[in-house]
Amino acid sequence: MKIASVQMVSGPDPQLNQASARRLLEEAKRLGAELIALPEYWPVMGLRDTDKIACAEEFGDGPLQSFLAQAARELSVCIVGGTIPLRSLETNKIFNACLVYDMQGQLLTRYDKIHLFGFQNETECYQESNTIVPGTQIQTFSHPLGKVGLGICYDLRFPELFRAMGDCALMILPAAFTHTTGQAHWEILLRARAIENQCYVLASAQGGLHTNGRRTWGHSMIVDPWGRVLDELDEGEGIVLADIDLAVTTKIRKQLPALQHRILKPQI
């Protein structure tokens, strides 16, 4: 089965971002993908952190959710919808939520980002907790490939989250890694999550210089259970595509049964 990640360089206009996302989803479908993941913050990378609050939706209703459901249904693909802003009980904050839709456009699951990014150096400062409420629940969903686990961006740095997902065939990570942190750690962490969980990892990223001046790292990629990068895109819009072969997973787990050899188990 072919899977794909969509890489974008989103701006502050949700309608323009929707048009770009639809074009890229159609391209991934044309290339044969049956599961496609969008990046974090694909609908809006605003001029201010608070801009995403203005386009937040109630869960179950809104143009962004309708767009994702309709695209999944019309293209007959499973769409992992990157992240969209969903309203929380705190009026000045949102949930950074990943919604997954099946080939009929039906919602499969919702995952709210648990770990909120905080970073400051001489020139950059990010504090997601100012505008985002953290999620509390690990989420996976069933797919013809098997169990699929979900993380979002900064979650990548917390291996216990991925361990707690259990035996997954695929783990998916929409992201908007900064250029600074991505250049240092992105590929290392993605390959580590694939190797230690002996499963495929798909990462769909923002990648380039945005209207607000922020530069994201990009390098969307698909990694196999041995840690090999099967496809990658450095910067700019585009598609990353690879075939998932579960026989590879079975062979690796048989040759090196590390998951069976675990002594310490995650306590989450």
Convert the pLDDT of each residue in 112-154 to its tens digit. Answer: 999 999 998 888 888 999 999 999 999 999 999 999 999 999 9
| Catalytic residue list contains 113 | yes
Domain borders along the chain are 2-255
- Predicted local distance difference test score (pLDDT) of residue 134: 97
- Predicted local distance difference test score (pLDDT) of residue 266: 63
| Catalytic residue list contains 153 | yes
- Predicted local distance difference test score (pLDDT) of residue 267: 64
Tokens at 98, concatenated: 């990943």
pTM: 0.96
* Closest by Cα among 37, 43, 39, 49 to 214: 49
Convert the pLDDT of each residue in 197-231 to its tens digit. Answer: 999 999 999 999 999 999 999 999 999 999 999 99
Which residues in the chain belong to E strands, given as ranges? 2-7, 35-37, 78-80, 84-87, 94-101, 107-112, 118-120, 125-127, 140-143, 146-150, 170-175, 200-205, 207-209, 215-217, 220-223, 229-233, 238-243
> Consecutive 10-residue runs of the chain (268 residues): their mean pLDDT?
98 97 98 98 93 95 98 98 95 95 98 95 87 97 97 98 97 97 98 98 98 96 98 98 98 96 77
Catalytic site residue from 34, 57, 78, 153: 153
Q: CB count, 10 Å around CB of 45?
A: 24
72, amino acid identity:
A
51, amino acid identity:
D
Q: What fold, for 2-255?
A: Nitrilase/N-carbamoyl-D-aminoacid amidohydrolase (3.60.110)
- Predicted local distance difference test score (pLDDT) of residue 268: 55
- Predicted local distance difference test score (pLDDT) of residue 91: 78
Alpha helices in the chain (DSSP H): 14-30, 51-54, 63-75, 159-163, 179-197, 246-255
- Predicted local distance difference test score (pLDDT) of residue 213: 92
Tell how far CA 145 is from the center of its chain. 17
Catalytic site residue from 98, 113, 128, 199: 113
